[in-house]
Amino acid sequence: MIAKNQVFEIEITGQTHEGLGVGRVDGMAVFVQGAIAGEKVVAKIIKVLKNYAVARIESFIEKSPDRTEPFCPVYKRCGGCNLQHMTYERTLQFKRQVVIDNLERIGGLEGIHVEPVIGMETPRRYRNKAQYPVGMGDNGPIAGFFAPRSHEIIQTEECGIQHPTSDLAKNTVLEFIRANRIPVYDELTHKGLIRHVVVKVGFATGEVMVILVSTSSIIPKKDKLVSLLKERIPGLASIVVNVNDKTGNVILGSKNITLYGKDTIEDKLGDLFFEISPLSFYQINPEQTLVLYNKAVEYAGLTGKETVFDLYCGIGTISLFAAGKAKKVIGVESVPEAVEAARRNAERNRINHAEFYCGNAEDVVPELYRQGMKADVVIVDPPRKGCDEVLLKTLIEMAPQRIVYVSCNPSTLARDMKVLHGSGYEPQKVQPVDMFPWTNHVECVVLITRL
């Protein structure tokens, strides 16, 4: 029997999909934080559960050649990144293996070929959206990131994966909060005002939006905040107060009040402009988004004659990328504000053969199909839970030649692939793209064709 605080020599033989090292003690699986497959470590058991135990490294007997010093000083405490102890090259190999494992085990696609992950040239400062929780520390208000599986705020001046302007805006808001004794939110008592600072940066345009998430629309001394941010933040185009007076983990509320500048900012991807608002979804790594979208359009194999469905289209980004090479594009999205933004984006980019429908893809697509509308190519980019089965059934009936599946979750991708594969569709190409360096997240584009 393994017990807490015991120390063992453990050979790390595998890696969980979250990036923990896996070894065995007395036949029981032990997950070792920060260990890499191939290493031999001395580790202390910190938790014992029914089927597995969790351990922490005390010392190394054999280190992996792929072990490297994390570039972030708070890496061990912060819940943001979890692969910084590996070389970047190794993280890409790890992510590719996660995709293969899922497609083989859940998807039943034994021996499937998965392309090497397309990584970033410089995997730093890649995020265009930062969400910093604000709270009370030992010496006054702090802002940073939550520790893993916790709401303890780890204070950080700088974060190596955020845009430098995001850090600057957060530090400036924090300075304002401290200097003016603005009450910060307390999750336990549900008292106080400022909950989060959210910053969005248009990488190509340089436009910056600073969002203060607050329990009330009234921010004391807000003029001081506006002038401080104007003075410090290059590219500042918008300051918004987002009101969230609900308890729980959802960061943004539904009400926005613009304190300064515009209600939205703009970014440019490739040759296209997109409107970014406080609530709308926009891919967080613009450099890799371009790679991802170009891959998706390449896999769509468009010649100019096709009708394309872009399902889960958000603000119409992929739709408008595909529109240049298609006869017609139909985007479907469940969030009304996103659909309105998609229509404005089409207009802004002078694209008039893209139409957008608001509703769940599993409701809208069967309805369009009943009305006689068909797609030659379907692109899907669902949230983590994957596609609804009703949607997959409709697609199988509609029988488009190609389906391009963009996925942020290999396990639901694999589940949906299994359904499609059993109904006459064959995966041709699987291309992972590293959208979230140093985290265990992996994005994939898959080309699926009808036999």
In the shown chain, the binding pattern of residues 368 to 387 toward ligand SAH, with x for contact by CB under 6 A and - for none, equals -------------x-x----
> Counting contacts by CB under 6 A, is residue 416 touching ligand SAH?
no
CA distances from 434 to 66, 88, 175, 287 (A): 18, 10, 34, 10
**In the set 39, 333, 434, 443, which binds ligand SAH (CB under 6 A)?**
333
> Counting contacts by CB under 6 A, is residue 394 touching ligand SAH?
no
**In the set 75, 185, 299, 312, which binds ligand SAH (CB under 6 A)?**
312
Distance CA 278, CA 276 (A): 7
Tell me whether residue 381 or residue 434 sits nearer to ligand SAH (CB atom). 381
Tell me whether residue 131 or residue 156 sits nearer to ligand SAH (CB atom). 131
Tell me whether residue 207 or residue 443 sits nearer to ligand SAH (CB atom). 443
Nearest distance, CB of residue 312 and ligand SAH, angstroms: 3
Nearest distance, CB of residue 362 and ligand SAH, angstroms: 6
> Counting contacts by CB under 6 A, is residue 338 touching ligand SAH?
yes
Question: Is 159 noted as a catalytic residue in this protein?
Answer: no
The residues with which 427 forms a beta bridge, in sequence order, are 448
Shortest Cβ contact with ligand SAH: which residue? 314
3-state SS, residue 77: coil
Q: Whose CA is closest to 61, among 13, 10, 26?
A: 10
Distance CA 193, CA 243 (A): 10
CA distances from 393 to 32, 144, 387 (A): 41, 44, 10
> Counting contacts by CB under 6 A, is residue 360 touching ligand SAH?
yes
CA distances from 43 to 13, 78, 105, 186, 348 (A): 14, 21, 30, 36, 57
> Counting contacts by CB under 6 A, is residue 314 touching ligand SAH?
yes
**In the set 177, 237, 243, 318, which binds ligand SAH (CB under 6 A)?**
318
Ligand-binding annotation for 283, yes or no, is: yes
Q: Which residue's entry shows tokens 């910053």? A: 199
Distance CA 108, CA 36 (A): 27
> Counting contacts by CB under 6 A, is residue 334 touching ligand SAH?
yes
Structure tokens at 408: 């942020």
CA distances from 213 to 204, 250, 435 (A): 25, 11, 26
Tell me whether residue 283 or residue 285 sits nearer to ligand SAH (CB atom). 283
Pairing of strands 425-433, 443-450: antiparallel
Nearest distance, CB of residue 258 and ligand SAH, angstroms: 22
> Counting contacts by CB under 6 A, is residue 356 touching ligand SAH?
no
Give the residue ranges of the annotated binding site for S-adenosyl-L-methionine: 283, 312, 333, 381
Active site members: 408
Catalog residues that contact ligand SAH under the rule CB under 6 A. 281, 283, 312-314, 317-318, 332-335, 338, 360-362, 381, 383
